[in-house]
Homo-oligomer: A and B are copies of this chain.
Amino acid sequence: MVTVTDVAKKAGVSTSTVSRVLSDSGYASARTRSAVLSAAKALGYVPNAIARGLKTQKSGFIAFIMPEVIDPYFFATVARGVEEIANSNGFQILLGNNDDNQLKERNYIELMVASAIEGMIITPSVDSRTAYRILADRGIPIVFVDRVVGGFGADTVRSDDYRGAKLLVDHLASLGHRRVALVNGHSRTSVAMDRAAGFKNAVVHSGLDLDERLISWGPWVIEDAERRVNELVESGAEFSAIIAGNLYMAIGTLRALRRQGLRVPEDVALVSFNDLELAAEINPFLTVLSQPIYSLGRIAMGLLLDRINGKYSGEPRDVVLSPSLVVRESCGAKLKAFDRNLRARPDVVDAK
């Protein structure tokens, strides 16, 4: 391994001069400067960031921990946003995956602390407040992405799920639906809670029927959504539209409805959270709530940077990004009125 000492010898100067030249701090005559530079180049010298960090107490590392099990696409996109901003600010990303598992998350946090991270961006698992204390005690800033952790003051970036749920309900209401089911995520995530709240509020405000049996909770995956929708249909509950928690759950819903012999959107309208290029090609083309996923990552890293370099040190910030409705076909908005047959209320037909 080539070290400053090697470069110093070759350039005929001291190690401190080499350091000064290479890190652009302090004075150095043009002559020594070029001597050092060419010596470094000739030797293929790469400064050891680890050793530098030990001295400067700045590792240049930030941690990014995701619960990727749910939706690789979503978190890969967030990661890219984080990466872009981190990279252009000289930070490196230590990647972790908590598998939505408290123990794994805790282990990772300790590992990251040991690696002297300067900050952490995390989509928190179910509840690990105690683990976050490890960071807080050391003054290492945290930014939560996508999910809020109650009672723990830290910056947060997320989409406006409350408003998103409202948008979806209102859209369905405007199409004449009166009984809407919500295939929701895990009841212990803030995302699912917010959506349920927005959903109920909109249902009441629009004068639709509020029926708790139409709301189901569970893992954000295809299979569970499929099972729940099958049960819903078989229970005989009446509904004419379904809101799915993400694209995967929309697919589960689609599979269940197919199995039950129900067509979308003719028999049941379907809308979903989370957009993705592929949603535009799914059969039927999905009406979705589009969220600025990439921005989620970029903004999170931005907030973290502010904290790391002391540009901001005030109260926790809660950045809430607005989703937007993308109307395609699965909601039935583009069906001609006479083609539609709303199952629960076949008489309430509105061509919008």
* Chain A positions near chain B (C-beta within 8 angstroms): 1, 44, 46-51, 53-54, 59, 64, 68, 72-73, 75-77, 79-80, 83-84, 87, 92-97, 108, 110-116, 134, 137-138, 222, 247-248, 251, 254, 276-278, 280-285
Contacts and interface: CB of A to CB of B under 8 A. Distances in A.
Contact of A281 (B1, B76, B251, B277): B251
Contacts of A50: 50, 53-54, 59, 115-116
A283 B251 CA distance: 13
Contacts of A285: 283
Contact of A278 (B49, B77, B93, B282): B282
A95 B79 CA distance: 9
B72 A77 contact: yes
The A interface is mostly helix, strand or loop, or mixed, namely: helix
A151 to B, nearest CB: 21
8 contacts: A46-B113, A50-B53, A50-B116, A72-B80, A87-B97, A92-B111, A222-B277, A248-B277
A16 to B, nearest CB: 19
B49 A51 contact: no
This chain: how many copies in the complex?
A: 2
A51 B51 CA distance: 8
A46 B116 CA distance: 10
B97 A94 contact: no
A49 B108 CA distance: 13
Given A79-B95, A93-B96, A278-B278, 7 more contacts: A46-B114, A49-B116, A76-B76, A92-B111, A251-B280, A281-B283, A283-B283
Contacts of A87: 96-97, 108
A114 B285 CA distance: 48
A72 B285 CA distance: 21
Contacts of A112: 92
Given A278-B251, A283-B284, A92 B76 contact: no
A341 B64 CA distance: 52
Contact of A76 (B73, B94, B138): B73
A278 B145 CA distance: 25
A44 B110 CA distance: 11
A273 to B, nearest CB: 15
A110 to B, nearest CB: 6
A95 B277 CA distance: 25
Contacts of A248: 277
A113 B72 CA distance: 28
Contacts of A46: 110, 113-114, 134
A335 to B, nearest CB: 16
Nearest to A97: B83
